[in-house]
Structure 1
Amino acid sequence: MSDVTDVLKQYSEDVVKTIEENLSVIEPQDLQDACLYLTKAGGKMLRPALTLISAEAVGGNKEDALKTAAALELIHTFSLIHDDIMDDDDMRRGMPSVHKVWDEPVAILAGDTLFSKAFEMVIASKEENAHPANVANALATVADACVKICEGQASDMSFEGNFDVKEDEYSEMIFKKTGALIAAATKAGAIMGGGDDEAVHALYEYGRMIGTAFQIQDDYLDVISDEKDLGKPVGSDIAKGKMTLMVVKALAESEGEDHDRLLEILKDDDCSQESIDEAIDLFNKYGSIEYAYNLALENIDCSKKVLEILPDSEAKQLLIALADFVIDRSS
């Protein structure tokens, strides 16, 4: 695990530098500070690392994909800022959220600025002799992911208070909300690295599957981790009545008193820790925790299989290690 963390840190250094250089021109200073706040707070930098490694995995140079990698991190940061506003979340990466440090109007503007800067940075790849067709395709990939993120967030919001959500509806939502940007990262990296259509498609599928597993693992960690590792109270999704894969599965499998009690807990706006623990017991009773973990693991296994068409390389091995990291992480 530490090796993968070291790899992410190594690849993130150039990305952070590129982001800071491109955001240093933003005025006024408060807006610039708000834009850079979450980047300086740290984070896994998984998406830009995947972009750079994907470029290398198809035989390209990571430098050709650097601005696109930075752009994808900006899109991710933009989505976090706006998500925190919509969810009224006070903390992000162990620090107060952007809208808590400044205010909602500044946070919204920071998100909008990052969104705009992301497209500007992909286009700027042309200045470094990137092939115009590759830049256009990478730009289209990023734009498509942005639409899917918004669709996924809208679906997630529509699920609030709707306890009839089916598993296929939930799966579509998490792909759009989380998986789409990770799939865009690997696809755009392959494009900027000059990969052929087969390699680009394979890396998109790889990103789609590890992205799906990433969100399922987040849901899973919410009920099996301790608060110190998780960085937030265990069972916070249950307390908020969120529809996760485990909730969807447990509601589908349970009946009678168990079904009614689970619904009662999820609908409780003042859910106690005792009730959260009771819900987790029901998840275990109906096998939904194990089901979620196994589905995430299945996605990881399949993601590694699609990489078989790529030539052996250090970058390919890194992609395999990063897939395992998604399922093995504790936060």
Structure 2
Amino acid sequence: METKLEVTEILKRYSADIDKEINRALETVDPETLLQASEHLVKAGGKKLRPSLAVLSAEAVGGQVKSALKTGAAVELIHTFSLIHDDIMDQDEKRRGKPSVHVIWGEPMAILAGDTLFSKAFASVMQSEDDGVTPELILPALHTVVDSCVKICEGQAMDMGFTERMDVSEEEYLIMIYKKTAALIAAATKAGAILGGGSPEQVEALAEYGRLIGLAFQIQDDYLDVASSEEDLGKPVGSDIVEGKMTLLVVHALSQASEEDKKRLHTILKEEGDENVSEAVAILEKYGSIEYAWKVARENVNQAKELLIDTLDDSSSRDALLLIADFVLERSN
């Protein structure tokens, strides 16, 4: 609980400046309807974890906060773009406690809003020169951000393909969540380190730190779906099972289970409704899959922290990055 409060304070520290950069990036969007649709999820809140990681990474290598603010805003714009398009694909009607963009403005306008955020993100990175960042640093930072966008699309396509399969390997699953979730977090930490003037070793360490906590973040989501409470999650326990998702827990159980249990779990994942969620959870427990997922997430967080300790000087920003790594596992939703 203490870690969560500390991390909340860390994220608040940069939130106003990041919001200012996001507003600046979107202020010229026209017509008004497109602006409203583009701003909707940004104004609905969110932890601003990714942009804060960009700024903290710049500080942790000895750079200035302002050098990474516009790229931090860009990362948040890309994250929001991906959420709008995900909601369209999944037909989800709510996001951050509010109606999804496509529910209010319709799918065509929601697609345009996502495309607008996507485009404005790159413009925001390039405008870092206004804050005294040299083009020699902006170009590799921009390349890092662009590459993460391609990976997000690849990861989403892999995830969609997994719903038709029951033979997904753990290696395939980890590649998918790296691309879909961890790549943007790694881009935030890597780009921040680049813009802060970090050494090649520091840049690589922060990129790997981002990748590892990004993987842990998604695996923890998988874990919480069956190990948390509906009150903490804000949605029914076992919703991933109801939706037939390939999570690390399911992938592990299918690789370990008897033929009978494998077939039963397969059947439950394919059927509609939540009547047999508890039976599926019992199968996951039988093969130690819930505990296994938590262990993998913990190993990733420990590796991420070791990297920072080995390559960065002691500082308040490094301490903040270490706290965020712990927060990934200690959160309940």
1:316 aligns with 2:318: yes
Q: Secondary structure at the match of 1:183?
A: helix
Q: Aligned to 2:276, what secondary structure does the other structure show?
A: helix
Q: Which residue of 202, 205, 209 corresponds with 1:206?
A: 209
* TM-score for both structures, normalised by structure 2: 0.97
Aligned to 1:115: 118
Distance 2:17 2:298 in 1: 31
- Structure 2: which amino acid aligns with 1:275? N
Matched residues in 2 for 1:303 and 1:201: separation? 12
What is the match of residue 146 of structure 2?
Answer: 143
Task: Pick from 100, 105, 108 the counterpart of residue 105 of structure 1.
Answer: 108
1:52 is aligned, of 55, 64, 73, to: 55
Which residue does the alignment assign to 1:301? 302
Question: Cα RMSD (Å) of the superposition?
Answer: 0.8
Task: Tell me the amino acid that sits aligned with residue 49 of structure 2.
Answer: L
Q: Residue 217 of structure 1 aligns to a residue in which SS? A: helix
Of residues 135-144 and 90-99 in structure 1, the stretch that sits farther from structure 2 once superposed is 90-99
CA offset digits 1:292-319 (Å, max 9, x no partner):
0000000000000001210000000000
Aligned residues: 329
How many angstroms apart in 1 are the aligned matches of 2:124 and 2:53? 17
- Aligned counterparts of 1:128 and 1:314: Cα–Cα separation in 2: 23
Q: Which runs of 5+ in 1 are unaligned?
A: none
Task: State the 4+ residue runs in structure 1 displaced beyond 4 angstroms.
Answer: none
1:127 has 2:130 as partner: yes
Check whether the contact 1:94–1:231 (CA below 8 A) recurs between aligned residues.
Answer: no
- Equivalent residue letter for 2:315: S
Name the residue aligned to 2:241: 238
Q: 1:143 Cα deviation (Å)? A: 0.5
> CA deviation digits over 1:27-86, x for unaligned, max 9?
111111111111111111110000000000000001111000000000000001101111
Note the alpha carbon deviations across 1:210-248, whole angstroms, 9 max, x for none.
Answer: 000000011111111122211222111100111000000
Q: 2:155 and 2:25 mapped to 1: Cα distance?
A: 28
**Quick check: 2:152–2:183 contact (8 Å CA) kept in 1?**
yes
Cα distance, 1:117 vs structure 2: 0.1
CA contact (8 A) 1:60 1:193 kept: yes
Q: Give distance in 2, aligned partners of 1:125 and 1:58.
A: 18
For structure 2, the 5+ residue unaligned runs are none
Instruction: Give the Å deviation of 1:21.
Output: 2.2
Instruction: Give the drift of 1:129.
Output: 2.0
Alignment of 1:37 with 2:22, yes or no, is: no
After the TM superposition, which residues 74-223 of structure 1 pair with which residues of structure 2 at under 5 Å, given as runs?
74-223=77-226
Q: 321, 325, 331: which is aligned to 1:329? A: 331
Q: Is the 8 A contact 2:66 2:131 kept in 1?
A: no
Separation of aligned partners in 1, 2:24 and 2:315: 31
TM-score (norm 1): 0.98
Q: Percent identity?
A: 59
Deviation at 1:290, TM superposition (A): 0.3
SS in 2 for 1:34: helix
Q: In the alignment, residue 303 of structure 2 is paired with which amino acid?
A: C
User: How far apart are residue 194 of structure 1 and its match?
Assistant: 0.6
Q: Do residues 227 (structure 1) and 237 (structure 2) align? A: no
CA distance in 2, matches of 1:259, 1:23: 49
- CA contact 1:161–1:267 (8 Å) conserved in 2: no
> In the alignment, residue 63 of structure 1 is paired with which amino acid?
K
Contact 1:265 1:271 in 2 (8 A): no
Residue 292 in structure 1 maps to residue 275 in structure 2: no
